[in-house]
Amino acid sequence: MTPEERFELRQVAVNEWSISDHSYDAHDERCVVACIWWVALDECEVSWMVELGLPTRYPSPANVIEDLRLLVPRRTKPIPIAHFAPPTTRPTPDPG
């Protein structure tokens, strides 16, 4: 599922939006990722339901979901970790 398919920005009132995560069932409480509302003409405030490290103020709801969609691929892609055998240690000779 791409970030565009996974997250949906939905207007729930005149000045309020929510972002849903479609990787969860609609009845699952984890489905709602954020609530957004206008606080000024050119500023909205975001209440994140999950800790993502994203700002709580944006110029518009569209900017909120754009940031979220950009963040998700970086957060969910596994990072390959090289695995090496532990180094072998040799006993040091006793100088005495």
CA 90 to chain CA centroid, Å, is 47
What's residue 88's pLDDT?
75
Q: Is 3 exposed, middle or buried (0-12, 13-18, 19+ CB in 10 A)?
A: middle
What's residue 19's pLDDT?
96
Whether residue 46 contacts residue 57, with contact meaning beta carbons closer than 8 Å, is answered with yes
Nearest 5°: the CA angle 77, 79, 80 is 130
Place of tokens 């990787």: 23
Whether residue 30 contacts residue 24, with contact meaning beta carbons closer than 8 Å, is answered with yes
The whole-model pTM stands at 0.71
**Which helix or strand (DSSP H or E) is residue 75 part of?**
helix 61-76
**Which helix or strand (DSSP H or E) is residue 21 part of?**
strand 16-21
Q: What is the pLDDT along the chain (96 residues), one digit of tens a residue?
A: 777 889 999 999 999 999 999 989 989 988 999 999 999 889 999 999 999 999 999 999 999 999 999 987 655 556 677 777 777 777 677 776
